[in-house]
Chains A and B, each alone.
Chain A
Amino acid sequence: MTHTKQVESLFGSDVEKYFINKQIGGNSNQKGSRYEDFFSVMQLAQLFQLLTNDDKDDIEIYAQAEAFVDDLLVKFQKHNAQHHFQLKTSPTVSWGTGLKSISDDFYKQKVLNDSLGVDKTRAVLVCSDKEKAARLQKNTPDNIADFSEIIFFPEVETINHLILIDDKFKTLIGRICFSNDIDKLEALAMLIFVQWVDKKTTIYSVKELLSSLEKSFPNYLARSNVAENLLPEVERIFSTITNFSFKIEKGYFSWQYHDFDSGTIPYSVDSKEFIAFQLEITSKCPKQFDELEGILL
């Protein structure tokens, strides 16, 4: 349902025109703001964790929403709450005053949400300049301070770079990834990024986005509720190979030989590929690492 009429009745026709133009401008600028997409990847990682851990109710996510604070919108239906994000990479960003300013957009968003019956509104200004973000936080206008916050999020060209410099991004991807190794974190973040860029204008259900990600192979997602034991015969064979050890964590098998060889099988232990791997072990019955090594790859 469109909110345009609500905007007109709340703020008048000039604001209504601005609200409509904001959507048109937003859509045409949407060609691919990498900054916004990388930030969305981080939000999605957090939302995927919510869905898999606590909250079974769906969450919706919108890029360029029909809103005053419109770069990214997350709707928590169960809690009747909305989180709005405005992202700025300009070094001259400021709260401003009057129509079209960030502070006015934040204020009007809260008024609009209240009138629509949204219980909890959170409006976030995401800024790529750390010092600027701190200054904006300090100078948040009083009329929006209760529901607004500033987040610093760095602007970089690649996900690898982002993981190397942003601990929060790294941590949130790490919570849903089977490994904390950066190559696996990057792989998972790239998969989320590609899905998001491909589907952000057509799919709003976070559950559906997660389900689509789960269908990718390999997907690097941590697995819960997976039986983490090997076939007894496979365990027996591994135990006879000197200096070889293994572990199964978050549903994935990793191994080590002495302290110089190590590896991870990139599919989960409940996959048909892992069953085939175990059968190969039992049929070839390797007695030393040299014989096992080729099967592990």
Chain B
Amino acid sequence: MSRHFSEYTSDIGLSNLARLADSSTNAEDYSNSLYLLGKELGIVLAEQISDKNIKLCVACTVEDADFLAKGIIESLSVLSSDISLACFWNQRQQALSIAPIIKKYCEPAVKNANVLVIVKSIISGACVVKTNLTNLIQDIEPNRIFVVAPVIHCDAQEKLNSEFPNIIAEKFEYIYFAIDDEMQSNGNLVPGIGGNVYQRLGFKDQDDKNKFIPKLVKERRESLISAPKQKVAV
């Protein structure tokens, strides 16, 4: 087993990665570490993007929305107020390397995005990222695509690139803190993020995770629904 850290990893990043890997970290502290890692990743992203005239889309999965994605969006807000959100509920079948989408929350502004940030707490087989990215690029043509995760497997970049034609794959820019080379038979990386993210966050299983509606989605949806009413009132 070996773990390498990227040039982007700060002391805050290191301590929160260690908290994720620690099996004794409870669900609340685990979630908070994901949020803090999201904030850190967002700071790195903001430096990488730098252009303030961009239209950003942050895409995530349901389990990552309230912590990792929220942290990233907060850090990116200094760069742009024009950040849209796409959130996916995937039904992953690991044996087949597929993760069909059973529900999607996709804000109208996503279709205007020219920079796409696809976020995942961990990327190993890359099948969820591949599925959601494929779905998004049917409707949008971003100039830059950031693939962002606190931890990735050493083969993840190669695997994800192979899922796309070069014209898409050459847009990928990977931002991560740790890269692990050991994968268990159940697909979990060691140390990874300390096992199965659903269970670490307190979900019973995939079905339980897929019945969850993130607070981030509820709040943003509510503001979208109420926005036209406010305009009318003005």
Binding site for B on A (CB under 8 A): 156-158, 160-161, 164-165, 181-184, 186-187, 190-191, 194, 220, 258-266, 290, 293-294, 296-297
Contact = CB atoms under 8 A, between A and B. Distances in A.
B96 A297 contact: no
A259 B109 CA distance: 11
Interface stretch (B16-24, B130-138, B141-149): B130-138
B225 A164 contact: no
B163 A161 contact: yes
B216 interface: no
Given A181-B135, A182-B135, A160 B104 contact: no
Contacts of A191: 96
Interface of B: 89, 91, 93, 96-108, 130-131, 134-135, 138, 162-165, 168, 210-211, 213, 218, 221, 224-225
A161 B100 CA distance: 15
A261 B99 CA distance: 18
Given A259-B108, A260-B224, A161 B164 contact: yes
Contacts of B165: 161, 164-165
Q: Which 3 residue pairs spanning A and B have beta carbons closest together? A: A263-B103, A157-B162, A160-B163
Contacts of B163: 157-158, 160-161
B224 A183 contact: no
Nearest to A156: B162
A293 B138 CA distance: 25
Given A158-B162, A260-B108, A266-B91, A183 B101 contact: yes
A293 to B, nearest CB: 6
A276 B99 CA distance: 24
A169 B72 CA distance: 38
Contacts of A187: 93, 96, 98, 100
A177 B33 CA distance: 41
